[in-house]
Structure 1
Amino acid sequence: MRTPREVPTGGDPDLAVVAAGFADPRRIRVLMALADGRALPAGRLAAEAGVSASTISNHLSRLRDQGLVTAEQHGRHRYYRLSTPDVEGVLEALARLAPREPITSLRQHTRAHALRSGRTCYQHLAGHLGVHLFRALLDRRWVVGGNGLHHPDTDDRLSAPGHAIDYRLTPEGAGALSDWGVPQRLLRVDTTLRYCTDWTEQAHHLAGPHGSALATFLFEQGWIARGTTPRSVTITESGRPHLDRLCGSPAGMDRAGYPA
């Protein structure tokens, strides 16, 4: 089995082989369920895809053959996870290109609302929550170099890692992020920070190792928690006062973590 990173020499990449894994809506739901970095059992993935146990087995086998997921054995159960962060990158890029499905049920509305409110992206925070946290870093001058806004007239693409803006960490920001558990090796002053242009908010959120370290800290402190919708993130009752102090009010988010 070949993972997407292992491009064979001597010819062009066979994009159709990998693309076939994204061509079925049931497999897309499986990949989306795994996109927050967790490993999940087949039963949970069958529920997410809306199929039977025998059917999910066939889809998981197909995804493994295409190098999109890997399997690991824990006791009697097999758990699946994305083979590489590149798979999540493809999902984000497809979300930027794809037409929006009409929302015809309360369940669809709830899922869409949850993902826009807060979600994981490459193991850092995205959506309304991620954008507002990054805005707070800029307002406090912990990060300088830009204003957090999407600039369509530059090489600043939606739903993609950004390159147009040179965000940098200030001495105050290094001290603050150190208190928030970001490793010292990442806290050199004037370090260039990675960012993504958020596809739902069309603004920037912190990415790369700094974004991942910050998200890890917030999860470990119990200030945020994973929601019932795959990849979704909500603010906890214990975390709300801390995020209020950092951000003022978390971008008008209500008690469930949704935009008010």
Structure 2
Amino acid sequence: MIEPHTEQTGQAAFRHIVIVGLGLVGASFAAAVRAAQPDIRLSGVDVDGRTRAVALERGWTDAAWAPDDPAFEHCVRGECDLVVLAAPVDVVEQYFEHLAAWDFGGIVTDTASTKSRIAAVAARTLPHPENYVPGHPMAGSEKNGIDGARADLFQGAHWILCPDAATPAEHFPRLHELVTSLGARVIALPREDHDEAVAVVSHVPHIMASSLVQLACRHADDQQALMRLAAGGFKDSTRIAAGSPELWCGIAFDNAA
């Protein structure tokens, strides 16, 4: 169901957010929060040094650390009240383990395109699994990494949140307020229904676009004019095929069913 826009209280729903993964979605989230709620302190975690430097240069984060930086642990233990996992599902488990070891008691959400695997990992790893609220912004770009990030990426987009019966009553409204402040529209969806729903509207279309590009490439050498004949329909149908192959391979395996 689509939730109504909440009243803005004038006070930020969170004081200090740590964003793990400063790629397209994570960096865009940082940029959007910075623009919408500049009083929130933002810290980023990423394995790539250049990405961390760009996030700082653009003012999207107040701090940017490598995953093994002691400042990351210090922040989680004592300062931040929301951790946003914007990293691929196959590397998220190690961050759940960090949060568990550091006894993080704040809210944890994510931006992954699949939910069944990551929710299972959270349930068995986190000491407070009820504080994990799965999330998925239905927004993206054919551009990858922080170089494709922009503050308006979520304007008008749907952002799925998947609370359940164990989710503390205050968690959903706080996340709802944050997400809607970025211009997105929140949809509450049972986490067990998420993967089937997004397969139809997101995952299958991407596989179709990638397959069409592969088909065209196989025939391009035989028919020299083929790519010159490609018009708007072909371009519209294949634009999303430029997404990260590594990311989409992971999504396809996670949501194979």
* TM tier, smaller: under 0.3
Task: Give TM-score scaled by structure 1 length.
Answer: 0.23
Write 1 or 2 for the structure with the bigger share of helix.
2
Task: Give TM-score scaled by structure 2 length.
Answer: 0.23
